[in-house]
């Protein structure tokens, strides 16, 4: 077997909890573990939402650096302010062009590779916007970006080739139906078109499940387990190719997820609670709206007049609610936010110009859900209880899959207990490709996984930050490895 390191394949399973990997359910992911290194203390970013986490993957940076502060946000760079739903691929292209290519505030993997004459290919069954986020400028460089469902997220030439070989794009199924056909299509497109013709330097193959099925059936439900098993079988096709061909050609495999899920147990309405407290609320900016409550499982509140007094009033109102978890506002000092009871949003690396005036997680706990899985929370959506949610700071939301295999990672069948995160993969890839990294990256090179003595002496330090108001108390826990910092948990009580 060649020991060259010249290609990378990142395979993502959207929303897969690491503790759902097992020989019975995911034999092929377990096979990869036997061939590589499992990152036992691997985490995502805050908010633990898909369209914050995947930009962190491709930029190697936290949300405060790349600017995708949530699945939705309020854009105040224009007048009047506007509500942005980042699931819309056409809108993202428009925003990038309007901003002169500054949709994201940090350089992305596709841009970095292109500047060195290398290529990134993307195949995904996520939302159109998520698919574009993996390489939002693919058409600028003649690179491949394919969606399993959405033409607006595809580059035209690659789509024509894939449809001619694999068949037409599959319809996006109703959310209550697990998406099997899409996963099959992108797997075949990679194996039959993208790899044979293009042999990209880096490929991202992103299965959009089990995230959607978890949201609509439950994280441990039979339907969710079935789609996890189905995605694992498709990954098995990829792994068979890798063992037969890819590994000898120097391809390194990285298997990931963007976040975990916990179970919503108690439905609440943030809009109603704030209306009862005297605020005029809405889900997007309008003349009659005092507070925009961005829909989603992570709380994002934008004030029409974000004075320090109004921010403090808003924080005082939500911290009286039993559903309120950790709360963050603009920093007053190294720890505290400008509102009493809040922590500075820089502590969760979410201090971007697009950040909400008040961000919060719903209060979560370690209760066991109907499927025997740890992690429950209050939630704010129109679905029934016992379904999967994510976005906050519970350890099971932050926990993410991380498995690496290939000639660059010599300790086959081992585990690494050194904390790591989704921002670390791109710095590691660039290091192995001997490409310089931009200073926007906050992730680190995973030296401890490589044939590299720098990883032997990683210093690990833990820290906690506290804030309170009245009976409300919150604690944020982090862990540092060298100059990199990872979020472990955020809790609240009172």
**Residue 48 near residue 334 (C-beta atoms within 8 A):** no
Q: Is 436 exposed, middle or buried (0-12, 13-18, 19+ CB in 10 A)?
A: exposed
Tokens of 114: 């292109």
Per-residue pLDDT of the chain (494 residues; tens, 9 = 90+): 335 678 999 999 999 999 999 999 999 999 999 999 999 999 999 999 999 999 999 999 999 999 999 999 999 999 999 999 999 999 999 999 999 999 999 999 999 999 999 999 999 999 999 999 999 999 999 999 999 999 999 999 999 999 999 999 999 999 999 999 999 999 999 999 999 999 999 999 999 999 999 999 999 999 999 999 999 999 999 999 999 999 999 999 999 999 999 999 999 999 999 999 999 999 999 999 999 999 999 999 999 999 999 999 999 999 999 999 999 999 999 999 999 999 999 999 999 999 999 999 999 999 999 999 999 999 999 999 999 999 999 999 999 999 999 999 988 999 999 999 999 999 999 999 999 999 999 999 999 999 776 766 778 999 999 999 999 999 999 999 999 999 999 999 99
Q: Structural domain boundaries of the chain? A: 7-263+394-453, 264-368+375-382
Contacts of 439 (CB under 8 A, 6+ apart): none
**Residue 297 near residue 389 (C-beta atoms within 8 A):** yes
pTM: predicted TM-score of the whole model, two decimal places: 0.97
**Residue 174 near residue 223 (C-beta atoms within 8 A):** no
How far is residue 417's CA from residue 406's CA, in Å, rounded to a whole number? Answer: 19
* 156-166 vs 181-189: helix crossing angle, rounded to 10: 110
Contacts of 122 (CB under 8 A, 6+ apart): 131, 134, 135, 138, 143, 144, 145, 146, 203, 204, 206
Topology, domain 264-368+375-382:
Gyrase A; domain 2 (3.30.1360)
CATH tag for 7-263+394-453 (out of 3.30.70.20, 3.40.50.720, 3.40.630.30, 3.40.720.10): 3.40.720.10
How far is residue 358's CA from residue 160's CA, in Å, rounded to a whole number? Answer: 45
């Amino acid at each position: 077997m060649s020991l060259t390191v010249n290609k990378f394949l990142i395979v993502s399973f959207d929303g897969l909890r690491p503790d759902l990997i097992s020989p019975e359910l995911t034999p092929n992911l377990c096979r990869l573990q036997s061939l590589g290194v499992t990152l036992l203390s691997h985490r995502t970013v805050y908010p633990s939402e898909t369209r914050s986490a995947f930009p962190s993957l491709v930029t190697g940076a936290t949300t405060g650096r790349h600017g995708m502060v949530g699945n939705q946000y309020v854009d105040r760079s224009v007048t009047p302010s506007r509500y942005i739903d980042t699931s819309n691929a056409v809108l993202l292209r428009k925003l990038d062009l309007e901003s002169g290519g500054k949709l994201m505030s940090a350089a992305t993997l596709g841009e970095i590779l292109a500047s060195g004459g290398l290529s990134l290919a993307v195949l995904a069954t996520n939302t159109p916007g998520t698919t574009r986020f993996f390489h939002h400028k693919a058409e600028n460089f003649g690179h491949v970006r394919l969606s399993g469902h959405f033409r607006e997220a595809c580059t035209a030439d690659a789509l024509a080739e894939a449809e001619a070989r694999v068949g037409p794009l599959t319809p996006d199924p109703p959310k209550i139906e697990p998406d099997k056909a899409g996963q099959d299509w992108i797997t075949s497109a990679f194996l039959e078109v993208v790899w044979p013709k293009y042999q990209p330097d880096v490929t991202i193959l992103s299965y959009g499940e089990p995230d959607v099925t978890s949201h609509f059936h439950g994280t441990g439900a039979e339907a969710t387990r079935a789609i996890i098993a189905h995605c694992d079988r498709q990954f098995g096709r990829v792994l068979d190719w890798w063992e037969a061909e890819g590994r000898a050609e120097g391809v390194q495999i990285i298997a990931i997820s963007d976040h975990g899920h916990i179970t919503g147990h108690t439905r609440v309405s943030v809009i109603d609670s704030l209306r009862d407290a005297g605020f005029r609320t809405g889900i997007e900016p309008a003349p009659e709206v005092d507070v925009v409550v961005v829909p989603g499982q992570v709380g994002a509140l934008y004030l029409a007049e974000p004075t320090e007094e109004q921010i403090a009033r808003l924080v005082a109102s939500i911290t009286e609610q039993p559903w309120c978890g950790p709360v963050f506002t603009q920093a007053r000092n190294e720890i505290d936010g400008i509102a009493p009871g809040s922590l500075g949003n820089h502590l969760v690396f979410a201090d971007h110009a697009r950040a909400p005036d008040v961000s919060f997680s719903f209060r979560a706990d370690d209760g066991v859900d109907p499927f025997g899985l740890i992690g429950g929370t209050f939630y704010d959506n129109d679905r029934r209880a016992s379904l999967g949610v994510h976005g906050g700071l519970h350890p099971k939301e932050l926990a993410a899959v991380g498995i690496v295999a290939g000639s660059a990672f010599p300790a086959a069948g081992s585990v690494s207990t050194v904390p790591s995160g989704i921002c670390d993969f791109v710095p590691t890839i660039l290091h192995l490709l001997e490409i310089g990294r931009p200073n926007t990256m906050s992730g680190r090179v995973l030296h401890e996984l490589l044939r590299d003595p720098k990883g032997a002496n990683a210093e690990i330090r833990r820290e906690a930050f506290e804030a309170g108001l009245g009976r409300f108390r919150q604690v944020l826990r982090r862990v540092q490895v060298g100059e990199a910092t990872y979020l472990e948990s955020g809790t609240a009580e009172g």
